[in-house]
Structure 1
Amino acid sequence: MDENNKEVIEIRPEDKDFFAEFIDCEGPIIQDSIDHKKITLALDKAHDIRKFEIDLYWKRATYFFAFFTVITAAFGYLFTHKNYTFLAPALAIIGSVFALCFCYVNIGSKYWQENWEFIIDKIEYYVTGNLYKLFFFENHRTKRPSVTKINIFLSKLIIAIWYACFILSMHQIWNQSMVLNVSYIILIIYSTGTTLYYCDKTVADISNNDKESPRFFRFRNPNYIKS
């Protein structure tokens, strides 16, 4: 096709900064040009990575729910058997730590999923139109609920349940040993604080990634000898 007959795709003013950083292009995009091929391939990649993030999201959720099933059964056994009730708070602490991690994992998964959705929103206008933004509904009540937000709420509920289990199990053994009581209280405070600190630190590490020292790279020298 003649260069003069190819379609010229104008970049919207609100997207100029994005494409200047993304493909180093602020002006019009010529159909079938390198820049046009870049955004077409980028859109396909963004869809693939978004689907990959969703797949990972449910795999992580399945892993945590499997663990919660096991530890809940173990806690119930210890809590209902008099000889082992002193161990129930320890399992409640473990459950609370995993519940906190589960909440952060859900928040992180939602962020990365939305990250690729925002990229799709930016690029698709110039390739397929506003296909991804389009959805139909009969009225406001039939609008789609957010599955990830529901899961985040559920993870926060699980946190509350495990702390309630800790309080209940501590109440059951309170008169047995003051040393044990104090030890469990210190342990849950320490484990909660450490978990929150570490999870928040991972957020800070990602947000400050641009400020970190540069990465080094090298290519290996091929050493092939003809036989």
Structure 2
Amino acid sequence: MNQEKYNEKFEADKQDSEILKAAFAQVSDIRKFEIELYWKRATYFWALIAVAFAGYFSILASEHMPNKFFLALIVSCIGFVFTFAWFLSSRGSKYWQENWENHLDLLEKKVTGPLYKTLLERPDHINMVERFVTGPLSVSVSKINQWVSVFVVFSWVSLVFFSAYKSLAPIGLTKDQWFAIGVHALVVLVAFIICYMMFGFGKTHKEKHTPKAIERETEIG
């Protein structure tokens, strides 16, 4: 679809187009709703990850818990999966947010003028303190959030390998201990497989939709 076909769909060539105005209002509302959902999802994952961190260090702090490093390995894998899901969820939210922002850019010209895509910035900073500390900075808050999620993913991966090492370090290589190694590897492998499945098979379907329509009839007997 090119710009001309896009304009035709929303009758963007007519100054008083009701379709254009309705589309602009709808897009503006959906964009605000998508941003609100973005932070609600982030809060949801922050809560889960905080609980996972608390559980992990509570297990390590316990002096009399049997197999505590193996249990810590399980919790660290859970935290890793939660954090990777948060990372993908943030990218998915960003995808839809940009979709509606692009619609705003294309529709706003004949409704409000180029208001949304016109930036009014300071010509220059007064001093070095304002430049590096107190002044405004053109950064994406959502991208900062995604970098935080990347760092937390790295932290969980480190804890996964630390827990696995501490759990396996005291053992030798007898038959039972090889079995223990296999169980540890299986826990880590399942966590990574789940993340791979989320990334590979959790993407938005953008091909043709062919839903089945069923009409339900209702009448008084």
Same fold, TM exceeding 0.5? Answer: yes
Partner of 1:217: 213
| Kept after mapping to 2: 8 A contact 1:79/1:169 | no
Asked whether 1:185 is paired with 2:185, we answer yes
Aligned equivalents of 1:167, 1:49: Cα separation in 2: 42
Gaps of 5+ in 2: 126-130, 172-176
Shift of 1:199: 2.7
| Kept after mapping to 1: 8 A contact 2:28/2:104 | yes
Deviating 4+ runs (over 3 angstroms): 139-143, 218-225
Aligned equivalents of 2:116, 2:202: Cα separation in 1: 31
Shift of 1:144: 2.4
Asked whether 1:64 is paired with 2:45, we answer yes
Partner of 2:54: 73
Shift of 1:86: 2.6
CA RMSD, aligned part only?
A: 2.2
Shift of 1:143: 3.9
Map 1:1-227; keep pairs closer than 5 Å: 15-20=3-8, 22-23=9-10, 25=11, 28-29=13-14, 31-32=15-16, 36-82=17-63, 83=65, 84-138=68-122, 139=124, 142-174=136-168, 175-176=170-171, 177-203=177-203, 205-207=204-206, 209-210=207-208, 212=209, 214-221=210-217, 223=219
| Kept after mapping to 1: 8 A contact 2:81/2:194 | no
Q: Which amino acid aligns with 2:198?
A: Y
Aligned equivalents of 1:126, 1:15: Cα separation in 2: 15
Aligned equivalents of 1:114, 1:219: Cα separation in 2: 36
Question: Which gives a bigger RCO, structure 1 or 2 (Cα 8 Å, sep 6+)?
Answer: 2
Report the TM-score, using the length of structure 2 for normalisation. 0.82
Aligned equivalents of 2:97, 2:55: Cα separation in 1: 34
| Kept after mapping to 2: 8 A contact 1:64/1:102 | yes
Shift of 1:168: 1.3
Gaps of 5+ in 1: 1-13
- Tell me which moved more, 186-195 or 98-107: 186-195
Aligned sequence identity (%):
29
- Tell me which moved more, 141-150 or 95-104: 141-150
| Kept after mapping to 1: 8 A contact 2:31/2:100 | yes
SS of alignment partner, residue 213 of structure 2: coil
| Kept after mapping to 2: 8 A contact 1:71/1:95 | yes
Aligned equivalents of 2:154, 2:41: Cα separation in 1: 20
Question: Aligned residue pairs: how many?
Answer: 201
Q: Which amino acid aligns with 1:194?
A: I
Q: Which amino acid aligns with 2:7?
A: F
Partner of 2:174: none
Cα displacement string for residues 6-39 of structure 1 (whole angstroms, at most 9, x for unaligned residues) = xxxxxxxx7312123x33x58x31x43xxx1011
Q: Which amino acid aligns with 1:200?
A: G
Shift of 1:190: 2.7
